[in-house]
Structure 1
Amino acid sequence: MPMIRMRISGDHDKLDTLINAIRGIDGIEHVEDVDEESMDEMRDDSSSSELVDDNQGDVVRVEIEAPQKKVELVRNVALLASRELDIAVEFVDEF
């Protein structure tokens, strides 16, 4: 079964809404937040310079296991929801 990997960034509640929309698709076997802690460790700390970077939303890495016939639907749902929720989605081959 294909594995879809994506990074989602934005407000935590909006991220949850997008993930729940994907979980609601029939035939989706597995949706998991992957290693959120390591993303926080990778973030540069710019607190002393008060840069906009300090105000960014959460970043979540998500893996979705879906049947081949549902891959395009998962991508479309993620893209449409990201536009409606004003969050960013990036599809990646690996994290």
Structure 2
Amino acid sequence: MPMIRLQLTGNDDVANELINLLTAIEGVEHVEEIGDLMPHMDDEDSSSAGLPDDKAEGFHQIEIRVPNALANDRVRSVAEALARDREVAIEYDEDF
């Protein structure tokens, strides 16, 4: 079963909207947000604490299992349309 793995840079509402849209696509068998596996070592006493990079939108890793190339194309089309509409970034992990 082919798997698409993407990362969305945006707030939780947009991530939830994307997951709901992808779940509704015919043929999509599984959609799951994967937890952040890297611990964040933010230290309040750090010289970089409070910088704008620390306040950026969230990162959401999402896995989608599709049965074929047609479903793959649909998922990518929906994800990219939402990203344009909501002005968020989507990046695909092609190595997965």
* TM score, norm. by length of structure 1: 0.83
- Structure number with larger C-alpha Rg: 2
Matching of residue 45 in structure 1 with residue 46 in structure 2: no
Unaligned runs of 5+ in 2: none
2:91 maps to which residue? 90
2:81 maps to which residue? 80
* Cα RMSD for the two superposed structures: 1.9
Distance in 2 separating the partners of 1:80 and 1:5? 17
Spell out the pairing of 1:13-52 with structure 2 (5 A cutoff). 13-36=13-36, 38-39=37-38, 41=39, 43=40, 45=42, 48-49=47-48, 50-52=50-52
Alignment length, in residue pairs?
A: 92
* TM score, norm. by length of structure 2: 0.83
TM-superposed deviation, 1:34:
1.3
Unaligned runs of 5+ in 1: none
Among the aligned pairs, what percent are the same residue? 37
